[in-house]
Amino acid sequence: MTDAVTTVRVNDQAQLCVEAIGERGNPALLLIGGATWSMDRWDDELCHRLADHGRLVVRYDNRDTGRSTSYPLGAPDYGTPDLVTDAVAVLDALHIDRAHVVGLSMGGGIAQRLALGHRDRLATLTLISTSPIDPEIESLPPPTPEIQATFSKAGPEPEWTDRDAVVAYVVEGERPFAGPGNFDEARLRALAGRVFDRTNDMAASMTNHFVLADEGSTDTPLSRLAGLRTLVLHGTADPMFPLGHGKAIAAAIPGARLIALENVGHQLPPPHTWDLIVDALIEHTTHA
């Protein structure tokens, strides 16, 4: 198995740090992270387990995260369409014609737009802890009151050059989003330290994705994805996008399969779910 890190340039606008884990020529899994997510959020062990099952796992730092291009604080010079273009650029740079695309949270929105706009580049689609962008879907359950309070009563930001302060800030920021019994402080603290050490601009990385222009839904219903093998993984305790969001996606895409993850919140599914996750992803991407 090989791990290869490269830099991908996108239309002379941005540079993305990309890592491919596994053997070239194996079916590719393209992992698209959520808001503020660098590639580090896709856990090394999970990625290597997928690679051990014969997949080429591709993860990358979104703009404003990790070692990819960062933008002035509060003024990102890009929007959601550019993030979709970034995903295509990663596939092009690695000479991947079609990939099994996996998107989580904001990455799930990007993955849906990628599937609608670049259907020929997808072998399968997997959506984790995300919300449908279908203009025909209404009345989705809102975030829990606790999460709404988190957004409305944000505490003071840390000194962004202070590693210990930033690590503590990131860890506490994750606490309300985890499902019952699924907040692993030690694991998150180690992850936050790694993210800090790899990130060009922590302030921008924790801010800019939240001030992108609201793209909302598309003009195209998800039913247009009929025939695209789709898997939906969604936590039963997701406080940001309650389970109804995952159910709505699965109902909107003909033939989609929903797996509800018991007590998982708005987070990368925790390690105790990985046997299930890996088996589901390998099965999903084998018969496409």
- The CATH H-level superfamily of 3-286 is Alpha/Beta hydrolase fold, catalytic domain (3.40.50.1820)
**Which residue pairs, CB below 8 angstroms and at least 24 apart, start in 45-49?**
45/271, 45/274, 46/268, 46/271, 46/274, 46/277, 46/278, 47/21, 48/1, 48/21, 49/274, 49/278
Residue 127 and residue 233: Cα distance in Å, rounded? Answer: 6
Whether the per-residue pLDDT at 9 is higher than 80: the answer is yes
Higher pLDDT residue, 212 or 259? 259
Residue 143 and residue 238: Cα distance in Å, rounded? Answer: 8
Residue 63 and residue 56: Cα distance in Å, rounded? Answer: 22
Residues 288/101, Cβ–Cβ less than 8 Å: no
Question: How many other C-beta atoms can be found within 10 angstroms of the C-beta atom of residue 132?
Answer: 26
- Strands (E) in 67-186, as ranges, are 99-104, 122-128
Q: Smallest Cα–Cα separation from 270: which of 246, 232, 237? A: 237
- pLDDT exceeding 70 applies to what percent of the chain? 97
- pLDDT exceeding 90 applies to what percent of the chain? 91
pLDDT of res. 216: 60
Cα(first)–Cα(last) distance of the chain, in Å?
Answer: 24
Whether the per-residue pLDDT at 214 is higher than 80: the answer is no
Question: Side by side, which strands form the sheet with 28-32?
Answer: 3-10, 14-21, 56-60, 28-32, 99-104, 122-128, 230-235, 257-261
What is the pLDDT averaged over residues 122-145?
96
**Which residue pairs, CB below 8 angstroms and at least 24 apart, start in 7-12?**
8/60, 8/89, 8/90, 8/93, 9/89, 10/82, 10/85, 10/86, 10/89, 11/85, 11/89
pLDDT of res. 174: 96
Residue 98 and residue 29: Cα distance in Å, rounded? Answer: 9
For residue 262 the two structure tokens come to: 């018991």
Q: Mind listing the pLDDT tens digit for each residue in 216-227?
A: 667 899 999 999
Q: Mind listing the pLDDT tens digit for each residue in 146-205?
A: 999 888 876 799 999 999 999 999 999 999 999 999 999 999 999 999 999 999 999 999
Could you give the residue numbers annotated as active site?
A: 105, 238, 266
As a residue count, the chain comes to 288
| Residues in Cβ contact with 283 at an 8 Å cutoff, skipping those fewer than 6 apart | none
Whether the per-residue pLDDT at 125 is higher than 80: the answer is yes
Q: DSSP state, 157?
A: P
Q: pTM for this one?
A: 0.96
For residue 17, the cross-strand partners are: 7
pLDDT band, very low/low/confident/very high, at 64 (cuts 50, 70, 90)? very high
pLDDT band, very low/low/confident/very high, at 3 (cuts 50, 70, 90)? confident
pLDDT of res. 1: 59
Q: Mind listing the pLDDT tens digit for each residue in 72-109?
A: 999 999 999 999 999 999 999 999 999 999 999 999 99
